[in-house]
Amino acid sequence: MRTTAVLVALALAAGGCSMFESKKIDYKSSGSLPPLEAPPDLVMPAGDNRYAVPDVNPTGAATFSAYDKERAGKPKTAEQEALLPSVDKASIERAGTQRWLVVKAPAAEVWAVVKDFWQEMGFIITLEQPETGVMETDWAENRAKIPMDGIRKWVGKALDSLYSTSERDKFRTRLEPGSDAKSTEVYISHRGMVEVYEGTQGGGEQGQGRTMWQPRPPDPELEAEMLRRLMVRFGVEESRAQAMVAEKAGPPHANLAKTADGEATLTLPEAFDRAWRRVGLALDRIGFAVEDRDRAAGVYYVRYADPEANTKKDQGILSKLAFWHGDDSKAKALKYQVRLTGRGENTGISVYMEDGKPANNETGTRIVSLLFEQLK
């Protein structure tokens, strides 16, 4: 049955199905949520007047235009003024393919909204670290990628579980204090996996009848779509949120070089504060486990987790997809320091081993190269 579902998904992918042509998202988590229980002292709303439209004619017939006309000229209450701010509470900033959200609210308030957002999107929160501002979802399938063809309509929802895509998505959200100490910056990074036949992941044409999961590149446009939807949650109008996400920014340049000792380094033509935020997002995209950070010293403490190291044949789907964050990857990965040094309007980036020595080896060079691909 699983093989049939995979064949259907691969055929659809070959047909050129694109999520962003319709911008439909309908995620379904691989896990399940615990049942919700209402507190015993919860006051339930009255059922007789919850949907009554106030301030309209007594006949009971009302249209939006009539309601709008009725309300015109009446002063707004304090509650209405608070619900309808004249200034956007959230905005988008861009640097190349990177986008992030700036919210005019303290991190504690933003954290609660972000958590509710992911749960309403169909995800389960698997990692919460408020002290470091990191939140991570589980792996989920975008059901909107499965077209409602004639067979699926005929089968109906009763056998909807027979249909599946060959892709899974996972998101990490990181909150950083804003530059004015009264705002919060929200970074969303995407990780993806795709199911392929064994023997085809290296470019072969014939599979061996079994499937395996392998990483697929991060999707900046999917990150942007999630930021847009999150902006709406913070009160930004849909049309304005779309316009802000679509705004283009000139791609910043990054210079890759090697010292005389063979150490690979990066230089960003940006001040330290902006470079610090962009490097953090780049680390999330690549899949590093950021264990700690010291902004005053300009250091990210990370573990480099090799995605292929955790794709074992004797593991289930959830275990195979746990390469982004999991105990197995932490046990096998080495610790590194990614150091940023501000030099006026430029910032230097270097990689060091756990003991503070320069990472003048193949892994250190690879880490710098991965950062360069995200920051160039």
Strand order in the sheet with 346-353: 255-258, 264-268, 346-353, 335-343, 299-303, 289-294
Contact status, residue 84 vs residue 71, Cβ threshold 8 Å: no
Helix (H, G, I), strand (E, B) or coil at 355: coil
In this structure, what are the phi and psi dihedrals at residue 206, rounded to the nearest 5 degrees? -115, 125
| pLDDT tens, residue order, the chain (376 aa) | 444 444 444 444 444 443 333 356 778 776 654 444 444 443 434 444 444 444 444 444 545 455 455 555 555 555 544 444 446 799 998 877 788 999 999 999 999 999 999 999 999 999 999 988 999 999 998 877 765 555 545 555 544 555 567 889 999 999 998 878 789 999 999 999 888 887 655 555 555 568 888 888 888 889 999 999 999 999 999 999 999 888 776 666 788 988 888 788 999 998 998 899 899 989 988 878 888 889 999 999 998 854 444 444 444 444 444 444 444 444 467 899 999 999 999 999 999 999 999 988 888 888 999 999 888 8
Contact status, residue 95 vs residue 278, Cβ threshold 8 Å: yes
Q: Which of 192, 190, 185, 188 is nearest to 227 (CA)?
A: 188
Q: Which of 224, 221, 251, 223 is nearest to 376 (CA)?
A: 251
In this structure, what are the phi and psi dihedrals at residue 283, rounded to the nearest 5 degrees? -65, -40
As a residue count, the chain comes to 376
Q: Which of 184, 192, 178, 179 is nearest to 223 (CA)?
A: 192
The pLDDT value recorded for residue 310 is 44
The pLDDT value recorded for residue 180 is 81
Q: Tokens in use for 337?
A: 């320091």
The pLDDT value recorded for residue 30 is 62
Q: What stretches of the chain show up as alpha helix (H) in DSSP?
A: 2-14, 19-22, 64-71, 78-83, 107-120, 150-155, 220-233, 238-246, 272-286, 317-320, 327-332, 362-375
Helical pair 362-375 and 272-286, crossing angle rounded to 10 deg:
110
In this structure, what are the phi and psi dihedrals at residue 157, rounded to the nearest 5 degrees? -70, -20
* Pick among 3.30.310.170, 3.30.450.270, 3.30.70.520, 1.10.10.10: CATH of 252-376: 3.30.310.170
The pLDDT value recorded for residue 78 is 52
Contacts for 109 with CB less than 8 Å, ≥ 6 apart? none
Distance between CA atoms of residues 254 and 270, nearest Å: 9
CA distances from 337 to 6, 105, 228, 288 (A): 41, 31, 33, 11
Q: Which of 5, 208, 204, 186 is nearest to 99 (CA)?
A: 186
Which is it for the CA torsion 317, 335, 175, 246, positive or negative? negative
72-95 b/e (C-beta count within 10 Å ≥ 16 → b):
eeeeeeeeeeeeeeeebebbbebb
Contact status, residue 152 vs residue 146, Cβ threshold 8 Å: yes
Residue 280: count of CB within 10 angstroms of its CB: 25
The pLDDT value recorded for residue 196 is 84
Distance between CA atoms of residues 354 and 120, nearest Å: 39
Helix (H, G, I), strand (E, B) or coil at 186: strand
Distance between CA atoms of residues 330 and 304, nearest Å: 8
The pLDDT value recorded for residue 161 is 53
Ranges for all domains in the chain classified under CATH 3.30.310.170: 252-376
